[in-house]
Homo-oligomer: A and B are copies of this chain.
Amino acid sequence: MKRALLLAAALLSSPAYADGIVDNVNGLAPTADGRVIRFKAVLIDKDGRVTRLVPSGEQPPKLSRRELKKNAGKPLYDWRIDMGGKTLLPGFIDAHGHVMALGFGTLSLDLSGARSLNEAKAMVMAYIAANPERKWVTGRGWNQEAWGLNRFPTAADLDDISAGHPIWLERADGHAGWSNSIAMREAGVTASTAAPAGGRIEKAGNAPAGVFVDAAKELIERAVPQPLAKERDAAFLQAQQRLLANGITAVADMGTSVDDWLSYRRMADIGALRVRIMSYAAGVETASRIGGKGPTPWLYDDRLRMGGVKIYLDGALGSRGAAMKAPYADAPGEKGLSFLSDTQLQNQMSRAAMDNFQLAVHAIGDRANSQVLDAIQVLSATYKGDRRWRIEHAQVIDPADLKSFGQFGTIASMQPTHQTGDRTMAEARLGPARLAGAYAWKSVLANGGKLAFGSDFPVEKPDPWDGWAAAFTRQDAQGQPPGGWRPEEAVTREQAWWAFTGGAAYAGMAEQKFGNLAPGQKADFIIVDRDPLTADPTTLRTTRVEQTWIGGEKAFDRSGGVKAPAK
């Protein structure tokens, strides 16, 4: 009787009587401390929130006749889906990506598959032939390192295949661009054009050679026609489809422009925004233009929020734009570029922090990382509370600086596939002496820092499976190098998983909303074709996402006629 009363009371508040159940699953979810929760069903309420994960061993509750009468034939759930024992995981969260760039990448020329300069040229020619109506040929993804070219490509390399089109192609890391002579002419760039602060023009003798690094990219970009808003929307939808197909249910968008924001809102206004976007505005002024006196609320049922500012402090390692304490091993005179002085950085961070914007500072080189860590220390004296200072990439850290990651709640937002992609290049740039603090995921954790993992798409593919496997193997998709590259910096499979889910949500101030399927969180999960905890790394990388659910609603179904884009 007493038990029946308790049950009846439970029924009245009815947390167990969720509106739906995703049943008969091999449910797995990581925890912050490296464990795994196993469950066989997810109960979901009307608002798309998890009310309970039914533990694997638990029997379904039986109701007494009295209880059944009380509920008068009302079914236990409004809907039930039997997943036939398939594996269900929390949706992945990519802690660092560029949503619109991913979308535009799918609409423009993708050179990431080119294995040589000649292959790249062939792809340009094919693109021009296939898109004769596009005046400007724009694209992305080249990497002269992967071509064994030992030099940057040049305008001359493109001029004989230009067919009258201006051409502008961004490097894989986004930190350099390659133009033909027509593009330089349209942009008014000549031998007398000086590189702006924070930028470099590659030279062929006295003339610009065709590659523009970091801030110098703007010299050409200002001549490239801006996309129309409807093109932005089309690009967004392309990007979203790729994210959903890879099992990504939320993303930190690093460097949202006003026009990006307008596009997200347009899509959300008509119900087309499915993936959750934690937006970091492109600079302090943009953050204020969008958010006014502070972050926006969570909008569209927790699908969109502009909560922070992305600040670029240095460039990339590949283009030697990363700001290093000592010269590059393979370019003795060069130490890279820090775009901001200590004072400028602190001023910008301070302007954002005083309006309660979260800070996400891009820092690749050890000098840049030192600068941000110092700035965080200085600003933490003024801006107290839960600030969650983020360093984006934190790619090369002076080992002496590692302990600072354990202070002031600093978050290292890192990208495992950068390690596997950069390995050979990083060895060349850094030399053996500076590798200790490079891609040092485990050291960050060991020093008490917080990890959030992402892909930096479109620089790397928006593929969390690749990233996850790289994170605990330090090997690329081909299993190289054997035993892993500096395997002492690998994290465990479970730690990596957390950094791609709950850790990334925490880094985005979203852990109350989504990230690990805890009761009260949004029911963002994926159905996949294998168990990622028993799969070997190679098999893990080829996991197929069959369904992606966001807020208790199916947003992607591979079998449902939804075309699956490339990974």
Closest residue of B by beta carbon distance from A297: B269
Answer whether residue A230 sits at the interface, using C-beta atoms and an 8 A cutoff. yes
B288 touching A229 by the CB < 8 A rule? Answer: yes
A110 to chain B, nearest CB (A): 25
Answer whether residue A554 sits at the interface, using C-beta atoms and an 8 A cutoff. no
Q: Which of A257-265, A315-323, A383-391, A416-424 contacts B (4 or more CB under 8 A)?
A: A257-265
Answer whether residue A366 sits at the interface, using C-beta atoms and an 8 A cutoff. no
Closest residue of B by beta carbon distance from A299: B269
Complex CA–CA separation, A291 to B232 (angstroms): 11
- Chain A, range 98-133, C-beta contacts under 8 Å to B: none
Complex CA–CA separation, A288 to B227 (angstroms): 11
Complex CA–CA separation, A263 to B290 (angstroms): 8
Complex CA–CA separation, A259 to B297 (angstroms): 18
| A230: chain B residues within 8 A (beta carbon) | 288, 292-293
| A292: chain B residues within 8 A (beta carbon) | 229-230, 232-233, 262-263, 266
Answer whether residue A289 sits at the interface, using C-beta atoms and an 8 A cutoff. yes
Report which of B229, B293, B296 forms a contact with A289, defined as CB distance below 8 A.
B229
Interface of A is mostly: helix
Complex CA–CA separation, A290 to B289 (angstroms): 14
A208 to chain B, nearest CB (A): 31
A262 touching B233 by the CB < 8 A rule? Answer: no
A7 to chain B, nearest CB (A): 29
A262 touching B266 by the CB < 8 A rule? Answer: no
Closest residue of B by beta carbon distance from A290: B262
Answer whether residue A270 sits at the interface, using C-beta atoms and an 8 A cutoff. yes
Answer whether residue A433 sits at the interface, using C-beta atoms and an 8 A cutoff. no
Complex CA–CA separation, A125 to B317 (angstroms): 58
B265 touching A265 by the CB < 8 A rule? Answer: yes
| A6: chain B residues within 8 A (beta carbon) | none
Complex CA–CA separation, A463 to B297 (angstroms): 34
| A297: chain B residues within 8 A (beta carbon) | 269-270
B291 touching A266 by the CB < 8 A rule? Answer: yes
| A265: chain B residues within 8 A (beta carbon) | 265
By CB atoms of chain B within 10 A, which of A258, A289, A291 has the most? A289
Closest residue of B by beta carbon distance from A265: B265
| A258: chain B residues within 8 A (beta carbon) | 258, 262
Answer whether residue A9 sits at the interface, using C-beta atoms and an 8 A cutoff. no
| A293: chain B residues within 8 A (beta carbon) | 229-230, 233
Complex CA–CA separation, A296 to B292 (angstroms): 22
B262 touching A289 by the CB < 8 A rule? Answer: yes
A–B Cβ pairs within 8 angstroms, 27 of them: A228-B288, A229-B288, A229-B289, A229-B290, A229-B291, A229-B292, A229-B293, A230-B288, A230-B292, A230-B293, A232-B292, A233-B292, A233-B293, A258-B258, A258-B262, A259-B289, A262-B289, A262-B290, A262-B292, A263-B292, A266-B291, A266-B292, A266-B296, A269-B296, A269-B297, A269-B299, A270-B297
Known: A229-B289, A229-B293, A262-B289. 4 other contacts (CB 8 A): A229-B290, A233-B292, A258-B258, A262-B292
In order of increasing CB-CB distance, the 5 nearest A-B pairs are A230-B293, A229-B292, A229-B288, A266-B292, A230-B292
Which residues of chain A have a CB within 8 Å of any CB of chain B?
228-230, 232-233, 258-259, 262-263, 265-266, 269-270, 288-293, 296-297, 299
